[in-house]
Structure 1
Amino acid sequence: MVARSRSITVAAEKLFLSQGAVSRQILDLEKFVGVSLFSRGSKGLELTTAGQQLAAKIQPVLSQLEEVFASLKSPGRETLNISAMPSFGLEIISPAVNDFLQRNPQYLINFLTTVGDVNLEEEEFDAAIVLGEPRSRDGNPELLCTPSYFPYISADLAPCNQAVDHSVLYQHKLIGQLRHPDAWPEYFEQLGLVFSPDMVGGNHSMLTTSAQAVLQGTGVALLPEYIVHKYVMDGKVRRICDTPYLPRCSSYYLVSKKSVRERLIFLEFRSWLMQLCSALDSARPARHL
């Protein structure tokens, strides 16, 4: 929205957020990816080269989310405003939320994708789905799930009719995650294998772009099953081994405002979400912290 309007003020008005909230989201995103995304030009804010590259990669994901959630909107219903991570919103919520709304036509769930920390009071969300344990306990964080990660590779590089073993990890470049820089060395140690930093061909800031890199044959990535499930079912991607990896700070949490926790719409959405997420974390059911 900021990139389109070239103005934080205009973007804040369209998103019904404060200017400070929008500015903080930009700073959080820049901190998350480790580069500046905007610069100020003669016509307002402009995307940097890194910002243009990131926007090109994530725009298809955000467009899909906007289309899904926009199609569900209808006036005159009780509303709940939820923030969610892009990959979680696209791969977990959007395929299933229509079932919840069909069973509860009196409700309207508005979603906005965010990256980084979420301040419920400043950004006027009722609740948020966040990655990593929240620093503050004010949002009454509840653990949703802790997905296991597995190594995946394109079927073009390792055809499904051929056996694979750990040697595949040495035959192709490893795709890293900026959020989990120690994932590959820790996973190699877990497997009893020798790791070298030059085995990593590049790092991604989002799970969805890592999955796309795998699909395009760039190399091998450690990913949760829900991100690549459809590609595995289509025979486009395959898992190299069944040894799971649990990155630090990989759990998803639900945080909420105190004022919303007794509302029926929130209680029913929370119950539905907990059940949905339990399938991603069969070894450890969701629990209250």
Structure 2
Amino acid sequence: MIAPRRFLPSISSLRALEALDRLGSASAVAEELSLTQSAISRQLQALERQLGIDLIVRDKKRLTLTTEAKEYASEVRQALNQIAQSTLRLQTSPLVGTLSLAILPAFGMRWLMPRLPNFSRLHPEVTINMATRLEQFNFAGEPFDAAIHYGHADWPGTQSLLLKNERLIPVCAASLIEKKQITAPSDILDLPLLHIQTRPLAWAHWFESQGELKLPPLSGTMYDQFATIIQAALHGLGVALLPDYLVEQDLASGRLRALHPFPVETSGAYYLVWPETKSRHAALHKFRDWLATQSQPEDPLPR
């Protein structure tokens, strides 16, 4: 059911309010929207009359938003952005299916991208638009139909498909250990450790899984993305605990050395996640069914 008219102000008045919050002056709003300042003032007055709330503080010729209006403008901005994104998708692909997908940069590049040509051959009618997101977000405030998510299948209001469990292995450049003997996990503690922000306890959990329960403080340098921590490991800055799928090529070529004979599975995993409201989305349905053929147990990574 659509909300009553009194709760649905005109797009023009909402754009004026949002722009005033963002730009800070009526003259700047008028220039951006190609209107006169008088027209902007009338739109804001009409919005106040419709809502029955004072939104604007008028100090001589200067217009500013009340605290409540600023919060309202922030929410309106998200809604306007979502309308704009939906309109763009409709205009760019009006006759074919379009899927807006949020991806994790490393997983998207190393696991998903090599497989996508197969999906494109099977479903040329579906266009996939992708953007990276490192952290979980609110589907209601982001224009995505689905997302690649790391963690557990516990995202509220969503359904999910398991893609791949994560298995970690400690790796470093050969130059870092050329004069050292690494015969037990505890020997790694004598080397500089590299940490990833999205897995702050990864090293502690790994050592515990190897029976090292009395650990010293695990200091070291911190990185925000796998791409940078891999480069740090390649240049001999320390030992990185990385998902095996990210470093298999570097291990095969000898650019990195594994400091443990096999990867250790973690409690986290990679999922395709989508809002329950999108469960009948045609393009998502095709993508989800195809991904189910790529998920565990999986074929070897395409070369």
TM-score (norm 2): 0.61
RMSD of aligned alpha carbons:
3.4
Which residue number corresponds to residue 195 of structure 1?
Answer: 215
Which residue number corresponds to residue 292 of structure 2?
Answer: 274
Higher percent of residues as helix = 2
Which residue number corresponds to residue 140 of structure 1?
Answer: 159
Question: Aligned AA for 1:278?
Answer: Q
Question: Aligned AA for 2:204?
Answer: P
- Paired residues of 2:147 and 2:272 also in contact (CA < 8 A): yes
In the alignment of these two chains, the number of paired residues is 216
SS at match of 2:134: coil
Aligned in 2, Cα 1:22/1:115: closer, same or farther, shift over 3 Å?
A: farther
Larger radius of gyration: 2
Which residue number corresponds to residue 89 of structure 2?
Answer: none
Query: After superposition, what is the alpha-carbon deviation per residue over 1:54-83, rounded to whole angstroms, capped at 9, x for unaligned?
Result: xxxxxxxxxxxxxxxxxxx98853211111
Aligned in 2, Cα 1:226/1:243: closer, same or farther, shift over 3 Å?
A: closer
SS at match of 1:241: coil
State the shift of 1:146 in Å.
1.7
Percent identity (aligned): 29
- Paired residues of 1:139 and 1:256 also in contact (CA < 8 A): yes
- Paired residues of 2:161 and 2:292 also in contact (CA < 8 A): no
- Paired residues of 1:80 and 1:265 also in contact (CA < 8 A): yes
Question: Aligned AA for 2:233?
Answer: V
State the shift of 1:134 in Å.
5.6
Which residue number corresponds to residue 235 of structure 2?
Answer: 216
- Paired residues of 1:179 and 1:205 also in contact (CA < 8 A): yes
Which residue number corresponds to residue 258 of structure 1?
Answer: 276
Query: After superposition, what is the alpha-carbon deviation per residue over 1:150-183, rounded to whole angstroms, capped at 9, x for unaligned?
Result: 1111133346xx9853265134211122233322
State the shift of 1:127 in Å.
0.8
State the shift of 1:213 in Å.
1.4
1:128 aligns with 2:186: no
Aligned in 2, Cα 1:145/1:75: closer, same or farther, shift over 3 Å?
A: same
Which residue number corresponds to residue 117 of structure 1?
Answer: 136
Unpaired runs of 5+ residues, structure 2, are 1-20, 24-75, 82-91
CA separation in 2, counterparts of 1:241 and 1:185?
15
- Paired residues of 1:84 and 1:111 also in contact (CA < 8 A): yes
Aligned in 2, Cα 1:224/1:157: closer, same or farther, shift over 3 Å?
A: same
Which residue number corresponds to residue 118 of structure 2?
Answer: 99
- Paired residues of 1:226 and 1:280 also in contact (CA < 8 A): no
Which residue number corresponds to residue 36 of structure 2?
Answer: none
State the shift of 1:237 in Å.
0.9
1:176 aligns with 2:174: no
TM-score (norm 1): 0.63
SS at match of 1:92: helix
